[in-house]
Amino acid sequence: MKYTLRYTQTALNDFDRLYDYLIMYDLDLAARAYEAIAPAISQLEHFPFSHRKAPGDDALLRELLVPFGSSGFVVLYRIDGADVISVLAVRHQREDDYH
């Protein structure tokens, strides 16, 4: 079964913010970050339950860890029904939490 990925406006804004931040320092670094995040998120289409539960009581709210350099990114997503994954937020691991 393949899930459909849906991105909230908050998640899209997070992508823009992260890319804009990285591009200030190094265009290649920004491209490599995107190349790490995009395929990691695409794996959610097939394996959404394989990642850790986010803090709290909602078992369908999950976190995907994306390694990048000495740290990485955290993608917050929710399993919405039998065939939809909603990507809710994306943060660098050193940022304040999104909860």
pLDDT of residue 48: 95
Pinpoint the alpha helices (H) of the chain: 9-25, 27-42
Say if residues 54 and 62 touch (Cβ distance below 8 Å).
yes
Single-letter amino acid code for the residue at 1:
M
Contact 4, 46 (CB under 8 A): no
**pLDDT tens-digit readout, 37-58:** 999 999 999 999 999 999 999 9
Cβ contact 60:34 at 8 Å: no
The pTM is what?
0.90
The pLDDT of residue 95: 78
pLDDT under 70 in the chain at which residues?
97-99
Domain annotation for the chain: domains and CATH numbers: 4-92 (3.30.2310.20)
Confidence at residue 1, expressed as pLDDT on a 0 to 100 scale: 84
